[in-house]
Amino acid sequence: MPSIPQALAPGWLRPLWLQREVGRAVAARLAWMRAHPDQAAMLHAEDAPSSWSSDDWTPYDRRCLRLWSDEWLAFWWEVNTERLLLLVRVPPALMGEDLWTHVLLGTCEHLAQLYHQFRKRYGARATRRFVRDTLNNYVCWEPKKEAGQEAEEMTAQIDDQSGCLLPA
């Protein structure tokens, strides 16, 4: 595959290394899930959409991104990575190629927005480390088997003042 110069990529998709890393992680997770079907589970199954809407490809509001806590940003990072895995498993013709493409590119844009927000807060080096560590953990993630160790569910509500989706 020929290298695409960074200058040719639209600004909302950059940095391209990020999209490549996420793509590799999603492909590796899919391979891991196929190799371990008894252990394979979705990281955020309850947040995976059963139907897709324009919210799935509409960019996040920058005001809201600034208000989100690090935990909330990380949660949406995981949800969007998981959405890409879901999309890879669905043939584009089944959803409709236009819808599939909108959701795929919108999810990539969401990941870029989250990356940029982390980078503003912590700098490029720490953010790259976060991305690589999170994606490496995602590839072989397994649900906790013991009672009482279930992942904490994130709930949200719309903030009256800002209109942003915030953790409840």
- Three-state DSSP class for 158? strand
What is residue 155's predicted lDDT score, i.e. its pLDDT?
59
Q: In the 8-state DSSP scheme, what is residue 13?
A: G
Q: State how far the Cα of 104 lies from the Cα of 110, in Å rounded to an integer.
A: 10
Give the pLDDT of residue 54.
80
pLDDT for 49 equals 64
Query: Can you list the residues of the chain whose pLDDT is less than 50?
Result: 146-151
pTM to 2 decimal places: 0.81
Q: Give residue 146's pLDDT.
A: 40
Question: What per-residue confidence (pLDDT) applies to 149?
Answer: 42
Instruction: Show the beta-strand stretches assigned E in the chain.
Output: 156-158, 165-167
The confidence score (pLDDT) of residue 40 equals: 72
pLDDT, position 21: 94
Helix (H), strand (E), coil (C) string for 58-86: CCCCHHHHHHCCHHHHHHHHHHHHHHHHH
3-state secondary structure of 165: strand
| Cβ atoms 103, 83 nearer than 8 A | yes
Determine the pLDDT at residue 6.
61
> pLDDT per residue over 4-23, tens digit each?
566 666 777 788 889 999 99
* Nearest CA-CA partner of 69 in 20, 31, 121, 106: 121
